[in-house]
Structure 1
Amino acid sequence: MAQAVEDLWRELPPNPDPEDDLGYELVELDFIPTSTSGGKEVLVLPTDEEMLREDAFIVIDRSSVEDLGDLA
């Protein structure tokens, strides 16, 4: 019998590895402050140009950007 998604989450470690446990692919990103809204927004782009052709970008509020290296 297949496990429900809710049950699969219970089997993950408390601090899962994004790649090994969750299947995420980590990519390099560029963060470019915008000239709109007084620079309060940031354009987040993948450094891989192929991904740009797939519309892989987001615009977020500057306060939402965290340097994970600073959190270690």
Structure 2
Amino acid sequence: MSKSAVESWESVSSDPDPKEDLGYDLQPLSVITVGERDEQCMILPSDADHLADDEFMVADPDVVCDLHERR
């Protein structure tokens, strides 16, 4: 890794603000638990306009958390 990359990495907060530090625009999501034993979560945009774009994620329930609750 180059010296400038290391310096950039080290200057970033260990708990960055999603909007200010990373430029993320948080959007509401719908989480649907699927499977016979609730073994996976399907995560969809809450805004119906985004559903047309086929945007979704599938994850194990133990890795899904609300970032607002973690602060």
Normalising by structure 1, report the TM-score.
0.71
State the Cα RMSD in Å.
2.2
Give the ranges of 4+ consecutive aligned residues of structure 1 lying more than 2 Å apart after TM superposition: 4-15
1:21-32 map, 5 Å: 21-32=21-32
The CA deviation string for residues 33-68 of structure 1, in whole angstroms up to 9 with x for no partner, is 11x242111111110112222222111111111234
Looking at structure 1, the residues matched to 6 and 54 of structure 2 have their Cα atoms a distance apart, in angstroms, of 31
1:10 corresponding residue in structure 2? 10
Normalising by structure 2, report the TM-score.
0.72
Identify the range of structure 1 (43-52 vs 13-22) with the bigger mean alpha-carbon deviation: 13-22
* Amino acid across the alignment from 1:66: C
1:40 corresponding residue in structure 2? 39
Unaligned runs of 5+ in 1: none
- Give aligned-pair identity as a percent: 33
* Amino acid across the alignment from 2:17: D
